[in-house]
Amino acid sequence: MQQDQEPTSQRATVYRMVLPDHVCPYGLKAVDLLTRNGFDVDDRHLTSREETESFKQEHGLMTTPLVVVGEERVGGADDLERWLAKRA
């Protein structure tokens, strides 16, 4: 007899700016959207302006956050909303 297994949640990584004086609201939105849609979120904080700017330059971004689901680079919070809507 086979045991029923719980489905494995899909994993996502969010790179977002979290500074002492500012937390990116779009990063918070991305984490919330993913969590509400059953994703296991690896929430990676960019904790200085220098780290954030370096990250954006390295990945060819104008803004943060950057959402990656599995191996797929989804984009920012608005991109994530569109991506999730396509899956529905």
pTM listed for this prediction: 0.88
User: Minimal CA–CA distance to 80: which of 9, 13, 18?
Assistant: 13
The reported pLDDT for the residue numbered 8 is 55
Strand partners, 31: none
Residue 61 structure tokens: 């971004």
Coil, helix or strand at residue 61: coil
Chain centroid to CA 4: 30
pLDDT digits (tens, 9 = 90+) for 24-70: 999 999 999 999 999 999 999 999 999 999 999 999 999 999 999 99
Coil, helix or strand at residue 28: helix
Q: Which domains does the chain have, with CATH numbers?
A: 11-87 (3.40.30.10)
Averaged pLDDT, 69-81: 96
Which H or E run contains 80?
A: helix 77-87
